[in-house]
């Protein structure tokens, strides 16, 4: 390798050494990166480095170790519900079950994992990482690190980690990550799966919740979804305006390819917390009276725990374009419309202008490149694609309702099952493409036609029954 930037030991806790990370770069890596995302070091704004680590990820039986004073309780004991909650709950205002707003940091300082889990939900993949569930628990798919230097820090070996439903509690209540929907279990169970499989390498391998105190959000995404994290050490610049425009272009190109950008701010200021990873959820540009303005939507890993911007602390920006800047939003209706700003939100998200990002940014940012080709097709620059997911969810409900009604007609027999599979397959394709419709309108149109063809196909199989035709007609995608 050409250059070793630095060796990071105990990245999240001074004086500890739970694992080791080495940031490395080479001409081969830069060539691979340029081929993978079509960007040079100059376009990224600095020198890219991949991460070599001795972190051990492996399937592990038994309950992950808990700190003193914390005990496991069943969901029935926690929520007082005979059913013990649900794996996924679609809450009011959520465009999908397993929404990013479900991920909220508790007492455990594992902000890196909270950022990663929220982004998994942002990708729409939170339900997919659960590959099995039964009466005793669930199975979560995770990924191992590939130590081959030629793989440039990729996590690409999937394995399954089973965990029971028992969750960490303090005084009878969930004390680590929790959903904003009472009784929704997926965030806490995903956190538990990582606590079971994620091992410290400080002399001997140890797992458990305390090991989660150290980590990196981009690597967290890689262990959850599979892919390659890398770090960009920013070049020295004298013109902040040039850096603002450069970073906007760089992040836009990355997000439009389904890559995640994560930043650490250099110090606590204006509500920001210097030690926490902030994930870029969206980008917007609008032309104001003084020229173009570039904005980014961030999410704090604290989620609901992030204090209101008016408090001035707690993880969310409280300067210009924050939720506290109602006058600024009111004076810029174009920006308000583009950013869909409707007042303060209690979900840890906030908008921030790039000149303020540059003023507060540390000396680097990190990126996650998913291995999944479907995720690479996503356009993450536009937060409104979550609204398209809501439309897809509505269509799914209509189809499921129609199929349920048709299933009640025994005379239609197995043709209903054929239609159900055909239509749902088409619907899933529609939903995947709809999430990136701003950039792939042609693809969306094609898949929309496939969905409508599924309805027509079903009509041909099921005959000319007027009631059936009416029900199927409601499923047509406009």
Taking only the tens place, the pLDDT of each residue in 276-286 is: 999 999 999 98
| pLDDT over 80 (residue 120) | yes
Q: How far is CA 356 from CA 284, 360, 476, in A?
A: 15, 6, 46
| pLDDT over 70 (residue 437) | no
Which of the four pLDDT bands, split at 50, 70 and 90, describes residue 453?
Answer: low
Are the beta carbons of 155 and 145 closer than 8 angstroms? yes
| Residue 435, pLDDT score | 46
Minimum mean pLDDT range among 389-398, 409-418, 448-457: 389-398
Percentage of the chain exceeding pLDDT 90: 53
**Mean pLDDT, residues 197-216 taken together:** 86
Ordered by start, the domain boundaries in the chain are 53-226, 384-473
Minimum mean pLDDT range among 193-197, 354-358, 446-450: 446-450
| Residue 110, pLDDT score | 94
Name residues whose C-beta falls within 8 Å of residue 128's C-beta, 6 or more positions apart in sequence. Answer: 141
| pLDDT over 60 (residue 79) | yes
Q: Any bridge partners for residue 244, and if so which?
A: none
The encoded tokens of residue 322 equal 């924050």
The encoded tokens of residue 330 equal 């009111």
Buried b / exposed e across 194-204, counting CB within 10 Å, b at 16+?
bbbbbbbbbee
| pLDDT over 80 (residue 411) | no
pTM of the predicted model, to two decimals?
0.78
Minimum mean pLDDT range among 69-73, 91-95, 171-175, 318-322: 91-95
| pLDDT over 80 (residue 442) | no
**Mean pLDDT, residues 46-57 taken together:** 90
| pLDDT over 60 (residue 107) | yes
Which of the four pLDDT bands, split at 50, 70 and 90, describes residue 8?
Answer: very low
| Residue 306, pLDDT score | 65
Which of the four pLDDT bands, split at 50, 70 and 90, describes residue 115?
Answer: very high
| pLDDT over 60 (residue 84) | yes
| DSSP-assigned letter for residue 383 | T
Name residues whose C-beta falls within 8 Å of residue 256's C-beta, 6 or more positions apart in sequence. Answer: 379, 380, 381, 439
Minimum mean pLDDT range among 117-126, 142-151, 170-179: 142-151
Name residues whose C-beta falls within 8 Å of residue 104's C-beta, 6 or more positions apart in sequence. Answer: 114, 177, 178, 179, 180, 187, 302, 303, 304, 305, 348
Are the beta carbons of 169 and 67 closer than 8 angstroms? no
Name residues whose C-beta falls within 8 Å of residue 6's C-beta, 6 or more positions apart in sequence. Answer: 22, 23
| pLDDT over 70 (residue 369) | yes
Q: Average per-residue pLDDT in the chain?
A: 81
| pLDDT over 60 (residue 431) | no
**Mean pLDDT, residues 251-275 taken together:** 92
More confident residue, 373 or 22: 373
| Residue 346, pLDDT score | 74
Percentage of the chain exceeding pLDDT 70: 73
Are the beta carbons of 120 and 258 closer than 8 angstroms? no
- Three-state secondary structure call for residue 7: strand
């Amino acid at each position: 390798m050409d250059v070793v930037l630095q060796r990071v030991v105990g990245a999240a806790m001074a004086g500890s050494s739970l694992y080791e990370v080495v940031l490395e770069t080479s001409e081969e890596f830069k060539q691979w990166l340029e081929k993978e995302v079509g960007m040079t070091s100059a376009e990224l704004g600095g020198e890219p480095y991949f991460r070599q680590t001795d972190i051990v990820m492996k399937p592990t039986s038994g309950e992950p170790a808990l700190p003193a004073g914390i005990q496991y309780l069943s969901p029935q004991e926690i929520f007082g519900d005979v059913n013990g909650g649900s794996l996924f709950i679609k809450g009011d205002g959520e465009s999908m079950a397993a929404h990013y707003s479900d991920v909220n940091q508790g007492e455990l300082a594992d902000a890196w994992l909270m950022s990663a889990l929220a982004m998994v939900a942002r990708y729409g993949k939170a339900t997919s990482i659960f590959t099995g569930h039964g009466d005793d628990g669930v199975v979560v798919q995770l990924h191992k690190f590939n130590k081959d230097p030629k793989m440039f820090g990729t996590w690409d070996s999937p394995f399954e980690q089973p965990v029971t439903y028992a969750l960490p509690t303090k005084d009878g209540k969930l004390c680590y990550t929790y959903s904003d929907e009472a009784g929704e279990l997926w965030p806490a169970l995903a956190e538990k799966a990582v606590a079971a499989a994620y091992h410290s390498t400080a002399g001997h391998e140890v797992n458990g919740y305390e090991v989660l105190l150290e980590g990196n959000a981009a690597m967290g995404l890689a262990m959850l979804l599979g892919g390659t994290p890398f770090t960009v050490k920013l070049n020295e610049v004298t013109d902040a305006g040039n850096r603002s425009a450069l970073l906007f272009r760089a992040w836009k190109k990355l997000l439009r390819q389904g890559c995640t950008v994560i930043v650490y701010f250099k110090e606590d200021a204006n509500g920001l917390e210097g030690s926490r990873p902030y994930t870029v959820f969206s980008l917007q540009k609008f032309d104001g009276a003084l020229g173009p303005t570039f904005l980014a939507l961030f999410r704090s890993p604290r989620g609901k725990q992030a204090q209101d911007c008016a408090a001035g602390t707690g993880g969310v920006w409280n300067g210009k374009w924050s939720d506290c800047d109602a006058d600024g939003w009111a004076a810029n209706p174009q920006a308000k419309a583009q950013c869909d700003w409707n007042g303060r939100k209690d979900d840890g998200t906030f908008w921030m202008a790039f000149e303020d990002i540059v003023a507060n940014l540390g000396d680097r940012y990190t990126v996650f490149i998913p291995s999944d080709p479907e995720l690479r097709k996503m356009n993450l620059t536009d937060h409104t694609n979550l609204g398209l997911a809501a439309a897809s969810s509505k269509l799914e409900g209509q189809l499921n309702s129609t199929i349920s009604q048709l299933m009640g007609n025994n005379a239609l027999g197995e043709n209903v099952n054929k239609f159900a599979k055909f239509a749902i397959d088409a619907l899933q394709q529609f939903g995947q493409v709809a999430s990136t419709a701003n950039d792939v309108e042609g693809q969306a149109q094609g898949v929309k036609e496939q969905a409508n063809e599924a309805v027509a196909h079903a009509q041909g199989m099921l005959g000319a029954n007027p009631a059936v035709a009416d029900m199927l007609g409601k499923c047509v995608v406009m």
